[in-house]
């Protein structure tokens, strides 16, 4: 570390060229320096490394054993540094081989990732997508450590410190099986409360949600008889029983097995956002993936 503090990057560039040319004059021409400047650089390098590095010879200068040891690792280090500071190359999805990792609930899988999947496979066939369970308290740390590229979460309550983009606004509708006898038309508020409801409780086992909060404001309650942790099971329950549910509209859009009607109670919706860490904000591949998702969800 002490040697690194004493080094100027220009000295290493000069050394690399000197080890290639074995001649101060030719090195000066390649570097667009004066010959005295290259000689000054060589003197500083000799002091830093405690070695003459290049000695006079019959055909120019010959490297010492220490200089020969430096040649290859120095070239690799400068190549790596050049790559690091070069402008990011444009991302070509057709040739990409990335593995992207995203954190999503089953709701986000159905409403965000499923719509983008065909587009992603067509545009970037060499890439892979890994979907991991979204655990809100872990999202920020996972993104910071590079364990995930993206996460999907409601805008309200999203982990702080992450970049975000609104994908869509969601609202709740009432759904049941397609031939449900109580859903031939929009139920009254009293009829709604008498229906048997299933609720999704992400924390597990809860029998109250935003719909119950809205009903409580007008002094009413409903019959919640089933609590489940995931939306996927709710779809099966609704299609095969007389239970009903207040579900996000996007989740049941186009589902021919279900009947969807407007609920007689106004329930606040929410905004769905895509989240990512600052570390990947300007990465061309990451930018392409984000835009791909935005376009797919919008259409």
Instruction: Tell how far CA 118 is from the center of its chain.
Output: 19
Q: Using one digit for the tens of pLDDT, what is the confidence trace for 143-194?
A: 998 999 999 999 998 999 999 999 999 999 999 999 999 999 999 999 999 9
Q: Do the domains 2-85 and 96-169+272-298 sit in the same CATH topology, yes or no? A: no
- Fold held by 96-169+272-298: D-Maltodextrin-Binding Protein; domain 2 (3.40.190)
Number of H helices, E strands in the chain: 13, 12
Q: Between 180 and 30, where is the model more confident?
A: 180
Given a contact cutoff of 8 angstroms between Cβ atoms, the answer to whether 119 and 292 are in contact is yes
Q: In angstroms, what CA-CA distances link 65 with 19, 55, 68, 69?
A: 12, 11, 5, 6
Average pLDDT, the chain: 92
> Long-range contacts: 6-10, Cβ < 8 Å, 24+?
6/48, 7/48, 8/44, 9/81, 10/41
State the CATH class of domain 2-85.
mainly alpha
- Six-digit token pair at 133? 């369970």
pLDDT tops 90 at residue 1: no
Non-local (6+) Cβ contacts of 276 within 8 A are 143, 149, 150, 151, 162, 163, 164, 286, 290
Measured over the CA atoms of residue 110, residue 94, residue 274 and residue 294, the dihedral's sign is negative
Q: Where along the chain do its domains lie? A: 2-85, 96-169+272-298, 172-268
Question: Tens of pLDDT along 204-217?
Answer: 789 999 999 999 99
pLDDT tens for each residue of 37-71 = 999 999 999 988 899 999 988 777 899 999 999 98
Would you say residue 85 has pLDDT above 60? yes
Distance between CA 98 and CA 8 in Å, rounded? 36
Q: How many other CB atoms are there within 10 angstroms of residue 127's CB atom?
A: 16
172-268 falls under which CATH superfamily?
Periplasmic binding protein-like II (3.40.190.10)
* Dihedral class, residue 32 (left if φ above 0, else alpha if ψ from -120 to 50, else beta): left
User: 266 with 172: CB under 8 angstroms?
Assistant: no
For 75, other C-beta atoms within 10 Å of its C-beta total 13
Report the phi/psi class of residue 146: left, alpha or beta, with left for phi > 0 and alpha for psi in -120 to 50. Answer: left
């Amino acid at each position: 570390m002490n040697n690194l503090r004493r080094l100027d990057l220009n000295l290493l560039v000069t050394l690399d060229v000197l080890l290639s040319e074995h001649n101060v004059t030719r090195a000066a021409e390649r570097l667009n320096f004066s010959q005295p400047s290259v000689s000054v650089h060589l003197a500083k390098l000799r002091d830093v490394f405690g070695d003459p590095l290049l000695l006079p010879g019959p055909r120019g200068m010959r490297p010492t054993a220490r200089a020969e040891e430096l040649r290859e690792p120095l070239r690799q280090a400068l190549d790596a540094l050049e790559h690091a500071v070069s402008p990011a190359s444009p991302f070509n999805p057709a040739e990409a081989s990335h593995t992207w990792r995203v954190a999503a609930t089953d709701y986000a899988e159905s409403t965000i990732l499923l719509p983008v999947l065909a587009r992603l496979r067509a545009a970037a066939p060499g890439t892979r997508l890994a979907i991991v369970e979204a655990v809100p308290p872990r999202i920020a740390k996972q993104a910071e450590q590079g364990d995930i590229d993206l996460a999907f979460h409601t805008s309200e309550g999203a982990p702080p410190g992450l970049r975000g983009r609104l994908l869509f606004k969601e609202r709740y509708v009432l759904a049941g099986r397609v031939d449900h006898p109580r859903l031939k038309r929009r139920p009254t508020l009293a009829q709604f409360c008498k229906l048997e409801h299933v609720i999704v409780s992400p924390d597990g086992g809860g029998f109250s949600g935003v719909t119950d909060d809205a009903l409580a404001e007008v002094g009413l309650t409903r019959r919640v008889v089933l609590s489940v942790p995931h939306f996927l099971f709710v779809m099966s329950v609704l299609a095969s029983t007389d239970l009903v549910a207040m579900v996000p509209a996007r989740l049941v859009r186009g589902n021919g097995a279900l009947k969807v009607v407007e609920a007689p109670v106004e329930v606040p919706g929410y905004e769905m956002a895509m989240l990512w860490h600052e570390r990947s904000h300007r990465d061309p591949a990451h930018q392409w993936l984000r835009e791909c998702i935005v376009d797919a969800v919008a259409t």
